[in-house]
Amino acid sequence: MQAGTAAEAPSVESAKLAQCIGVPTEVFPLEKRVATVPEVVAKLVKLGFSVAVQSGAGDAANFSDESYRDAGATIVPDAQALWSGADIVFKVRGPNAQEVGLLREGGALISFIWPAQNPELMQQLAAKKATVLAIDALPRTLSRAQKMDALTSMAGVSGYRAVIEAANAFGRFFNGQITAAGKVPPAKVFIAGAGVAGLAAIGTAASLGAIVRANDTRAEVADQVVSLGGEFVKVDYVEEGSGGGGYAKVMSEGFQQAQREMYAKQAKEADIIITTALIPGKPAPKLITADMVKSMKPGSVIVDMAAEQGGNCELTEPGQAVVKHGVTIVGYTDLASRLAKQSSTLYATNLFRLTEELCKTKDGIIDVNMEDDAIRGLTVTKGGAITWPAPAPKQAAAPAAAPAKAAAPAAKKAHGHGDAGEPMAGSKLAIMFGVAAALFWLIGASAPPAFLSHFTVFVLACFVGYMVVWNVKPALHTPLMSVTNAISSIIAIGALVQISPMVGAAGRPNELITWVAGAGIVLTAINMFGGFAVTQRMLAMFRK
């Protein structure tokens, strides 16, 4: 097999018609992920690229050399051949000094870089005149960047794995049970930080049957916590915690003190604590103190997802699972790597979407367009120059506000009075009712009795239909449902009035009306009850 791969190695240079994407084996300790997978290799080839994969690069993630070869990749025997033959290198972890030395002069690299934490690496890459796109620097506020957001993909995997690690270290079921052998209480899980990783952990723990509580400095995530089956725990201190790019910001000392008090209370009650708090470019904030750990019940578990950046717990040892004061503290730094096949597939898809943006002509040649906000944000070095940090993305111009004078008549027309929001004056209300009464009197004085009978039914049907909708739960009040059910109520009442004299009457003077009214009742009932049933099922999707 080695002889076969060695024979293929020269084809990286000789058979290349466009740019070659190289995928080396990750050398970072415990890293099992790979930057692309066979499924994505086939898509990259369709974009016009050739793809070279180092032999054994996907073994730890259960992707064999043969599967890459079948997808259209060339298998290269070693790192030297891979790096020297690739125009663009896809990686997961940032390169070490040796790999930077292997990078082709003026070549391109796409991987996690963390430029704020690695200034020396940035200088080394700039010295190689490399074009480097840091996938962690993607402007996450751009909606079109979501498909390339590897941070979100990896955070979701890590949040799920954190719960699995907690369950492994915990000594009981997550869900409560009542058996002949006794009662098992449900586990109480507290999650500090409700970003992507935290929300993934909330959903996983709740699905396992645990009682889940969560906190975040960003108040807007409270609804998301509840929708996933958790309970949002507020800090008794009012301060906005949203930072740029979807992250939290550093809070004031007053807020932090109130937060510590809340965490101390939760630590005494919780069986499992999962911490996810990170702020870009800064060490992980210390949320769980040694005293809080001491107050936890023996056998409790802490999973510190911020361990790689120093940890949210004072007693965390990065990369290790330790027991202190009877509490297991899990500080693994490779949570996403522990689900290597899944995380590699998601990461490879993110890089493919980025490659589509870089190669819109599908000719196998990337174009790093610095006028594109997403690409500009990703690019940290280009042609020997350090281009990080990127300027803030351009904001779309807000539409011009309508002139106040033009808006005023519309408001008057909409509300029936001069100032929007003010109650209607008593005199105007009396005039309106007087006009309506006069109109009804004219109709009653001149219309034939048959018309009055039908008109009375129509008015009553409108009123009943309105009341039917008015008393429906607000959760069901969509414009479509409101109008549909109001009309249905009117049709149902009208049809009942038409059909009732005919039932059981000898002779049945007009059977056509009977059948039409009956059909109207059936169709209306389907619309009314079916509409509410479908709406209830839609709402149930968002409940636990």
Specify which of 132-141, 438-447, 517-526 reaches the highest per-range mean pLDDT. 132-141
Structure confidence at residue 245 as a pLDDT band (50, 70, 90): low
pLDDT tens digits along 187-235: 999 999 999 999 999 999 999 999 999 999 888 899 999 999 999 999 8
pLDDT tens digits along 22-69: 999 999 999 999 999 999 999 999 999 999 999 999 999 999 999 999
| Residue 470 pLDDT | 64
| Residue 94 pLDDT | 96
Residue 114's SS3 state is: coil
Judged by average pLDDT, the poorest of 244-248, 362-366, 415-419 is 415-419
Quick one: what percent of the chain has pLDDT higher than 70?
A: 80
SS3 of 32-99: the string is CCCCCCHHHHHHHHHCCCEEEEECCCCHHHCCCHHHHHHHCCEEECCHHHHHHHCCEEECCCCCCHHH
pLDDT tens digits along 59-104: 999 999 999 999 999 999 999 999 999 999 999 999 999 999 999 9
Structure confidence at residue 408 as a pLDDT band (50, 70, 90): very low
The pTM of the full predicted model, rounded to 2 decimals, is 0.71
pLDDT tens digits along 276-300: 998 877 889 999 999 999 999 999 9
Question: Mean pLDDT in the chain?
Answer: 84
pLDDT tens digits along 462-491: 777 677 666 666 555 555 565 566 566 667
